[in-house]
Structure 1
């Protein structure tokens, strides 16, 4: 191959019509992502975009809506134990998974039922 992949640019997850405020409450209010203004020509589609460091998440509106329960993004975290403590303080449920050797990881679901993985390699 005469090309190589550099890095993941963004992930897109789906939400039901009208889910923008719930997305803001979760991705900004709980996870601490900053909302990014969508390009003018994409705004009519609905949805909302977020960014934090090198991680960009786009929430797109999908009808009919079905959450991603198995497929998921995996986001690397520095100091994952501090994140767990933070989520505990926010009363946000997560599921610890010790099945991947060498990883401290957990899953949580956004308000739409989409699965998100967070991990730190040990």
Structure 2
């Protein structure tokens, strides 16, 4: 069976790191600013201090794990969040004091970046259509 005949794999979660002892700051940003809902982690990993959030896609989660090694400054590794209203999201992040990073424009995908309190890079995008079908 070729790869094309098989079902494509789906993302189940993305993992980011935060500094140990900074759970309150993490929750404040991801639940307070971004609006994610925290979900209980399995009992076996509760002692490890992991925090999980639900996303808008059922079954796809954001996993946050403590790590004493900070995320390197300037890293370009990131995850992307699709939003319905980029302007509203931009305003909410600015109101929370988050510095925004402008991005190279992409056809039918206006976007910008921001860093969470732990230097994780997040892209915010509004998908306005299929750039391939539009011939862009």
Does TM-score exceed 0.5, indicating one fold? yes
Partner Cα separation in structure 2 for residue 104 and residue 5 of structure 1: 27
> How far is the alpha carbon of 1:86 from its aligned partner?
2.4
Report the more deviating stretch, 1-10 or 26-35. Answer: 1-10
CA radius of gyration, larger in: 2
Counterpart in 1 of 2:44?
41
Partner Cα separation in structure 1 for residue 116 and residue 96 of structure 2: 14
Alignment RMSD (CA, Å) = 1.9
Task: Give TM-score scaled by structure 1 length.
Answer: 0.86
Partner Cα separation in structure 2 for residue 65 and residue 93 of structure 1: 18
Partner Cα separation in structure 2 for residue 58 and residue 85 of structure 1: 25
**Matching of residue 10 in structure 1 with residue 16 in structure 2:** no
Unaligned runs of 5+ in 2: 129-136
Higher share of residues assigned strand: 1
Counterpart in 2 of 1:102?
108
- Partners of 1:32 and 1:52 within 8 A in 2: no
Unaligned runs of 5+ in 1: none
Q: Work out the number of aligned pairs and report it.
A: 122
**Matching of residue 63 in structure 1 with residue 63 in structure 2:** no
- Partners of 1:107 and 1:115 within 8 A in 2: yes
Considering Cα pairs closer than 8 Å and 6+ residues apart, tell me whether 1 or 2 has the greater RCO: 1
Cα distance change of structure 1 residues 89 and 66 upon mapping to structure 2, 3 Å threshold: closer
